[in-house]
Structure 1
Amino acid sequence: MTILKLKLDQDQLVEDFFESTHLIGIASSARDYQLCWHINRHLHTNFRVNNTLEITLTKKTRSFHFPVLEFHEPTNSVAHYFYNNHCQAEFLLPELKQIHFLWMIKGDYYQPDDVKKLLEELRRVPLVQLVSLLDIREVRNKMNLIF
C-alpha cells in the first residue's frame, strides 16, 4: 500500500488569498471595539467581531489571540477585515510594530482611486492617528493574516 503525502503549496495559498486585496495600516491608541465603533459611524460600515476568524499564534509555550472583525458590503462582493496587530507584547506582523490595526479589503470592486478616497475618509475618523496603504508584497509574515 502506497501512502500519498500531499504538500500544501504555501506560496500559491498566499498568492490566492491576497489576490485582489488592499491592505491599510492604522495607528491608534484606542481599543479595537472603540475604533471600529467610530469607523462604523463615520464610514457607514458594519464591522463586527467574528470569533471563527480569530488568529492564534503560539510562541514558546504561550498562545496569543488576535481578534478579526469583518464587514461584507451588501451591494457587491467586497469583504472587509479588521485585524488587531498586537496582543500583549506580541505582534501579528512583527515588521509593522508601529501599526496597531490592519484593514484588508478583499474583492476586485475597489480601484486605486476608491482606496485613496477611503484612506482620506479614514484619516478624519476620531481616534485614528495614522493611516497608510501597505504593499502586501513587502509584508514578510503574510501567512499570519490568513484565516
Structure 2
Amino acid sequence: MKKTKLIVDFEYDFELLGITSSAKFHKLCWSLNKGLHTHLVKIDDHVAHDKAGKEMVILNAKHEDESCEIYLYKNKSPENESQLILPEMPHFDYVLKIIGCFQTFASEEVLKQLRDVKYIEYIAGISMDKLKSRDNFLH
C-alpha cells in the first residue's frame, strides 16, 4: 500500500537574534525596555518540544504595539537546564524574536542599537535557513 506523507511548510516572517548576557531574565527585560523604548512584559511560559519530543517550558516576555511584536525567550528551560529552545546555539543565553518592526530599517542599524543596551555582552543575527529548531518559535 502506498503511503502519502504530509509536508507542511510554515512561513517564518520573523527575525531571530541571539543574545549572550549574564543578567537575570527580568533585568535584561528592564534594560531592553529602557534601551529600545519598549514595554516587554512577562507572559505565560512558552511550551516547546526538544529533540526527543519532551515538553519544555521556556520563560518569555512580550512587547506589542500597532507595528510590531517582540518576544524575549530564555534559551534554557528553568526546569531542566539541558533543554534548550535553540539547541544548535547553546552559547546564547536569550533569543529575541522580532515580528514586523525594524523591517524598514537596516538590520545592521538595529544590531547597533541593541549592542548599546546595558547587560548585552554579545548579540548576533540567526539565519533561519539552517536552523532545525525554528518551529520552536511558532505560536
Correspondence for 2:74 = 84
The residue type paired with residue 44 of structure 1 is: H
The residue type paired with residue 83 of structure 1 is: Y
Give 1 or 2: higher helix fraction: 1
Q: TM-score by structure 1 length?
A: 0.77
Q: Number of aligned pairs? A: 132
Which of structure 1's runs of 4+ aligned residues deviate more than 6 A? Answer: none
Structure 2's unaligned 5+ residue stretches are: none
d(CA) in 2 for partners of 1:102 and 1:82? 6
The residue type paired with residue 137 of structure 1 is: D
Correspondence for 2:99 = 106
Q: Aligned-residue CA RMSD in angstroms?
A: 2.4
- What is the identity percentage for the equivalent residue pairs of Structure 1 and Structure 2? 23
Q: TM-score by structure 2 length?
A: 0.81
Alpha-carbon distance, 1:63 to partner: 4.7
d(CA) in 1 for partners of 2:51 and 2:130? 23
Alpha-carbon distance, 1:122 to partner: 1.1
Question: Does the aligned pair in 1 maintain the 2:20–2:120 contact within 8 Å?
Answer: yes
Correspondence for 1:94 = 87
Using a 3 Å threshold, how does the CA distance of structure 1 residues 109 and 128 change in structure 2: closer, same or farther? closer
Using a 3 Å threshold, how does the CA distance of structure 1 residues 34 and 140 change in structure 2: closer, same or farther? same
Question: Does the aligned pair in 1 maintain the 2:61–2:72 contact within 8 Å?
Answer: yes
